[in-house]
Copies of this chain bind each other. A is one copy, B any other.
């Protein structure tokens, strides 16, 4: 087999993760091992950077700089939300061809896989040999085929640690606490909050996922039940929860708000769901102390909270992508197969099998209306890795001298 000589381009698409630069640096350093890859270009801001020929030459940076970038959160090349159509992809293809690019690595979610697919199709139609490898990343963990997605474990670790602290906060100052977690259509990240439970009374006591229809009245009944029993209640809610018609609750709230609003103050989205849920608990359950937070962008960018397994796998999928491309695979998406407890291996799946679709949590991972199963915990635990362990005071009660009870 003759070696395919030419340049490589690597780009990052979609939302950043805590370990996405591990994949980038994996691509760059592994590419530099092969003389047939004459240069490794980085496209600034995903496919938009290719369109505008906005490249930097990553062959001309130090290994030290790359290793420093690898441990930095968020897409160092810049990202984009552009979803290229056929015309956009044709332009991209022309730029790649003009620069004699023979290897294209796109780190992203299912949209990026779809973009990769279209570009590959152009190359095939044009009879231009271009190897196109999609490298998975998403904190949402919702890509098909692969067992899980690089980026998930670290975001999940942040969510778990957040709920650990928030449970202790709620323990100190009892009331109802609602934490809204990212996840447009799948509850993987919200589900991970279950690991914040250590002691029997620890929260989150209720976990709401978009896979299960969200019923407002049932939610209030659930919260009331926990609150009556424990004197407090911690709730993890996925931002993507949907009603029985599979309409996101969030979109219902937003349109109602927009209809009502006058002047400049409108609900723009971010705090809408948590505020609405908190308000319902406050007014309809007559509970005084109700607090709600939307975790927002901290979940995907917070530095220093990284899962070791996630970080290693993110690096490996980047390096594997180069290996697949160099040794003759023309196109595909790198996927992870779980083999042991815990071990994994890597394989290439077709771009079509990943492009444009998302993977929800299977029914076997969801328990009733508001919890997750042990099967989910077995699945997610190794991806998140060791967690901090905190303690409660363990001391005997003192006998009362004055008051009764």
Contact = CB atoms under 8 A, between A and B. Distances in A.
Contacts of A321: none
Interface stretch (A67-75, A239-247, A307-315): A67-75
A177 to B, nearest CB: 7
A405 B395 CA distance: 71
A237 interface: no
A268 B253 contact: no
A397 to B, nearest CB: 6
Given A165-B298, A293-B270, A403-B53, A79 B173 contact: yes
A253 to B, nearest CB: 6
Contacts of A293: 270, 294-298
A339 interface: no
B265 A256 contact: yes
A127 interface: no
A41 B398 contact: yes
B276 A265 contact: yes
Interface stretch (A29-37, A54-62, A115-123, A204-212): A54-62
Interface residues of A, number: 102
Nearest to A61: B395
A173 B72 CA distance: 15
Contacts of A177: 297
Interface string A375-394: 00000000000001111111
A215 to B, nearest CB: 14
A326 to B, nearest CB: 22
Contact of A77 (B55, B275, B393): B393
A12 interface: yes
A284 B161 CA distance: 38
Contacts of A61: 393-395
A226 interface: no
A115 B389 CA distance: 34
B57 A396 contact: yes
A275 B270 contact: yes
A15 to B, nearest CB: 7
Contacts of A398: 41, 53, 55-57, 99
B168 A72 contact: yes
Nearest to A25: B393
Contacts of A284: 264
A161 B268 CA distance: 25
Interface in A232-265: 253, 256-257, 260-265
B302 A279 contact: no
Nearest to A253: B265
A300 B172 CA distance: 12
Q: Which among A60, A75, A270, A295 has the highest number of chain B CB atoms within 10 Å?
A: A270
A303 B262 CA distance: 41
Contact of A172 (B79, B94, B266, B402): B79
A4 interface: no
A89 interface: no
Nearest to A302: B165
A60 B98 CA distance: 77
A268 B282 contact: yes
A177 B16 CA distance: 15
Given A55-B398, A69-B391, A271-B294, 13 more contacts: A16-B173, A65-B393, A72-B168, A73-B168, A73-B169, A75-B172, A78-B171, A161-B302, A166-B298, A169-B297, A257-B265, A268-B290, A293-B294
